Structure 1
Amino acid sequence: MIAEAAQAAGLALWRVDIGHVHDQHGFTGLVAKALAFPEWFGGNWDAFEDCLGDLSWHPAPGYVLLLEHGKHFGAGHKQEFVTAVEVLDGVAEYWQGQGKPFWAIVSGPDGWDAGLPPLPSA
């Protein structure tokens, strides 16, 4: 449903399976690969935020990053997960200031509480 709405709106959409992520390097590496980050990407949180705040190689009216199967990372590696969410929140705020939507959505099994705000109901 989210993917279809994003595509209908012409937004760039990426699906990243983070089901086996254990740490920052694994998380940023998967997202970097999915979004084809530039060669200069350094693999740390600052470089990750810089790349997501640029995306000039993916011109679009907005961006949606679907992080699928997030329970393992969110529950088993809480500090890294919290840092990832904080970075993604900062990126969303940056893009909001540019007049472009940026949504990072973490999915997991029914009933899983990631400790994140839920999506508003339709």
Structure 2
Amino acid sequence: MTGPLPAPGLPALLNGPTRPGVYRLPPADSPAHIAAAAAEADWRVARLRLEGVQDKTSFLERCAAELDLPEWFGRNWDALADCLMDLSWWRETGKFRGYLLIAEDWDAFAAAAPGAARTAESVLADAVDFWADREAPLTVLLS
């Protein structure tokens, strides 16, 4: 189960003391505010807007569109895992301190498709674990 972002919150995540993970976005923080703060701290940010997503197929389609996944993305769980463990498609020129994925409207998606949400969360957690001890870790915030 995903827990809340530990205190002191976003600053500790972006600057090191808080380990990368899959966390709940603090209710007082908006995704736009979080994305701006992360970008300012030299993190690469992607927002995954899940409004209206009701099932696995629409979740994977939204991932492809919102995250601008590579053409080889096969629109299945294994292909999503492959993309999240090879972030070459997400990198730009320059170095980032980390990668932050903000999944918005997660609760509505989880209510509409609990099985797909559990699987998606597992794929996200595996990717976070893969990148956790690397120079530029991946963290996921669910809102």
Which TM class, normalised by the smaller chain length? 0.7 to 0.9
The DSSP-based 3-state class of the residue aligned with 2:87 is coil
Instruction: Give the corresponding residue for 2:13.
Output: none
- CA shift at 1:26, angstroms? 1.1
Instruction: Give the corresponding residue for 1:93.
Output: 129
Cα pair 2:97 2:136 within 8 Å, conserved: yes
Instruction: Give the corresponding residue for 2:142.
Output: 106
Instruction: Give the corresponding residue for 1:68.
Output: 104
Mapped to 1, the partners of 2:97 and 2:62 lie a distance apart of 23
CA RMSD of aligned residues (A): 1.4
1:20 has 2:52 as partner? yes
Write the deviation string for residues 71-93 of structure 1: whole angstroms up to 9, x where unpaired.
22111211110111010000000
Cα pair 1:19 1:71 within 8 Å, conserved: no
Unaligned ranges ≥5, structure 2 = 1-32
Task: Look up the equivalent residue of 1:63 and give its one-letter code.
Answer: Y
Q: What is the aligned residue count?
A: 107
Identity across aligned pairs (percent)?
37
Mapped to 2, the partners of 1:96 and 1:57 lie a distance apart of 18
Q: Which runs of 4+ in 1 moved over 4 A?
A: none
Unaligned ranges ≥5, structure 1 = 108-122
TM-score (norm 2): 0.68
- CA shift at 1:20, angstroms? 0.9
